[in-house]
Amino acid sequence: MKYYSTNRLSPEVDLRTAVTKGLAPDRGLYMPESVSELDLVFFAQMGTLTFQEMASRVASKLFGEDIPSEKLKEIVYETLSFDTPLVAVEQDIYALELFHGPTLAFKDVGARFMARMLAWFLGEGKATVHVLVATSGDTGSAVANGFLGIEGIKVHVLYPKGKVSEIQEKQFVTLGQNITALEVDGSFDDCQALVKAAFMDSELQQKMVLTSANSINVARFLPQAFYYFNAVAKLKEKQKKIVFSVPSGNFGNLTAGLIAKRMGLPVSRFIAANNSNDVVFNYLSSGNYNTKASVQTIANAMDVGDPSNFARILDLFDHDHTWISSVMTGTTYSDEQIKESLSSCFRETGYLCDPHGAVAYRALKEELKTDEVGIFLETAHPAKFTETVEDIIGKGNVPMPGRLAEFMKGEKKTVEMGVDFAAFKKYLVSVSY
């Protein structure tokens, strides 16, 4: 399989190059040259397969030409050492719980898969690979824990100072070993801009091997298609049209869902559920795509004003607004609306969302039609936002998983960083030796 840049100004590359480089030389994102449909036999058998068996078949379609089948199966099985259960919340509305992995967030799937794939491609290479990742919340912890202790790889996590929850922060600033946390005095968009600038700097490219573990990397975002298949396989109301409501920030998660649909998964449409960061909502409403500075909200992992992966969605649909709008609608909610939805869901159904899941839940409540069944992605355990959630529903109502409690005991170790690229470059040069 060859991978091309969404900007179409760089040569096509193989999977190894796409994964190890992360970003194309023309600043575009890599995409597979084709997305093949799975056969009817697979869909007939899907309900009888385990999550790992199902994901292995999907992975074979996505990556099978580039990795030995047994190695790919091993990567999938090691990645999916946990389930993504489908939980009934109310009539025709289900939560797809993606927080049962090591860091209790959906990004465990993509991060664990990418760490293992990158390690395979590096093989016995002697050069140290530096993984750069910008995070607005859960990406940092998932990537850091996914790569922790892997020889030959150093991870540098950039995050906006004061704009992630304490629990999210503790999951990557306390690890040490081959993980370094950089506390950036700016926004997530500033962190993302620093990472992209590093990939475009010719001097850094000569001095060190750089790659990204954000969802801009094909090995991070494509495996997220696995749990869309798992959700549909678990769903019993298959006589109705299936709708996924996806809390959306950088849009890697929703892009993976669209890839799953392109592979034949019977999904009618997607809802891009946004907080106050409404760039894509405005595009879907008007056809005009204009990025802007991000706005801080209580659903902080979605605080993105320049979502990288939307370039992939535009590319997937040939920049055709009408085509995109036929499979994807958008919503946008204020903090007050998010709080109200989280509270009412807990009060009326007993189901406790995190702030991001509450956005997607509300979108289904407002948008779902009578001939549809809806699945919203519950992307992180509510305990990762304990203070925010308990301010809404009351103290003592958010159970603290043991894994999170252990992270909270760790000592914070960070490198403070401004938004100036020169300072970031100086730091990278200093650790390249």
Exactly one of 21, 61, 73, 107 is catalytic; name it: 107
pLDDT at 410 over 90: no
Proportion of the chain above pLDDT 90, given as a percent: 72
Using CA atoms, how far apart are residues 424 and 199, in angstroms rounded to an integer? 12
Q: What is the largest CA-CA distance in the chain?
A: 61
Following DSSP, what letter does each residue of 209-270 receive, concatenated?
A: EEEE-STTSHHHHGGGHHHHHHHHHH-S-TTSEEEEEEE-SSSHHHHHHHHHHHTT----EE
Using CA atoms, how far apart are residues 114 and 63, in angstroms rounded to an integer? 12
Average pLDDT over residues 58-76: 94
Average pLDDT, the chain: 92
* pLDDT value of residue 433: 67
pLDDT at 125 over 70: no
- Identify the band that residue 352 occupies on the pLDDT scale cut at 50, 70 and 90: very high
* pLDDT value of residue 238: 74
- Identify the band that residue 350 occupies on the pLDDT scale cut at 50, 70 and 90: very high
Residue 352, classed as helix, strand or coil, is coil
Block residue for tokens 């922790």: 148
Average pLDDT over residues 348-369: 97
Phi, psi of 311 (to 5 degrees): -60, -35
The count of other CB atoms within 10 Å of the CB of residue 415 is 13
Using CA atoms, how far apart are residues 76 and 21, in angstroms rounded to an integer? 22
pLDDT at 124 over 80: no
Using CA atoms, how far apart are residues 397 and 395, in angstroms rounded to an integer? 6
pLDDT at 400 over 90: no
State yes or no: is 292 an active-site residue: no
Tokens of 420: 């100036």
Weakest mean pLDDT among 49-53, 177-181, 292-296, 343-347: 292-296
- Identify the band that residue 404 occupies on the pLDDT scale cut at 50, 70 and 90: confident
pLDDT at 158 over 90: yes
Average pLDDT over residues 389-418: 89
pLDDT 10s digits, 207-224:
898 888 777 889 999 999
Buried b (16+ CB within 10 A) or exposed e, 68-81: eeeebbebbeebbe
CA 373 to chain centre: 24
- Identify the band that residue 75 occupies on the pLDDT scale cut at 50, 70 and 90: very high
**Orientation of helix 421-431 relative to helix 188-200, angle to 10°:** 60
Using CA atoms, how far apart are residues 396 and 235, in angstroms rounded to an integer? 32
- Identify the band that residue 409 occupies on the pLDDT scale cut at 50, 70 and 90: confident
Tokens of 352: 């406790």
* pLDDT value of residue 406: 84
Task: Name which of 58, 73, 62, 76 is nearest 33 in CA terms.
Answer: 62
- Which CATH architecture best describes the domain 84-102+221-400? 3-Layer(aba) Sandwich (3.40)
DSSP 8-state assignment for residue 410: S
Side chain identity at residue 74, one-letter code: E
pLDDT 10s digits, 28-51:
999 999 999 999 999 999 999 999
- The three state secondary structure string of 133-146 is EECCCHHHHHHHHH
Using CA atoms, how far apart are residues 222 and 257, in angstroms rounded to an integer? 9
pLDDT at 128 over 90: no
Tokens of 241: 């049209």
Using CA atoms, how far apart are residues 92 and 25, in angstroms rounded to an integer? 45
DSSP 8-state assignment for residue 10: S
Find the angle CA(151)-CA(156)-CA(160) to the nearest 5 degrees: 155
DSSP 8-state assignment for residue 412: P
